[in-house]
Amino acid sequence: MIKQYIHKGNYDATELDGEWIILNTDDYTVTKINEVGGVCWSLLNESQTADTLTQSLMDMYEIGENEEQVKKDVEEFLHNLVECGLIQNVNR
């Protein structure tokens, strides 16, 4: 089954000069992500797979090649967000 991810709870996300700070008030943690991460974070309001996120980024930033590398980066980013307790796998 293709893994789908979505925000795990309600968070306060603040954008500052292209970087994002995400406050998790359940665990009292803060996470900083860069601009592209912020785009992915916004899309994760609704459930996404590594493929749908990759496609959105390739369209948004007009990337014509290296799709495999983009997908690899997206998968790593999703893994990190799961580790930080910010998103969850909705297939579970």
Partner 1 sequence: MKEIITKIGDHFIHIICDSNKLAEMFNVNFLTINNYNLKFDLSITIKEGYGVPFLDYKVDITKNNDQIVFRRADYLIEVDCEYKVATILVNNGLALKHALMNIYSSFIVYRNWGLLIHSSSAMEKDNVHVFAGQSGAGKSTVAKLSYPRVLLSDEATLVKISPNNVTVFNSPFRSEIEADKLEREITLDSLNLLYQSHLNKRNSLTKSEAILRLMNKVFAWQHSQEETKNIMKLLTNLVNMVPVYELHFQKNNTFWELIS
Binding site for partner 1 (CB under 8 A): 12, 14, 16-17, 19-21, 23, 25-26, 28, 30, 32
Q: How far is the CB of 23 from partner 1 (least distance, A)?
A: 5
Rounded to an integer, what distance in angstroms lies between the CA atom of residue 91 and that of residue 5? 8
Q: What is the DSSP string of 13-59?
A: EEEETTEEEEEETTTTEEEEE-HHHHHHHHHTTS-B-HHHHHHHHHH
Q: How far is the CB of 13 from partner 1 (least distance, A)?
A: 10
Nearest to partner 1 of 20, 77 (CB atom):
20
Nearest to partner 1 of 5, 20 (CB atom):
20
SS3 2: coil
Nearest to partner 1 of 24, 88 (CB atom):
24
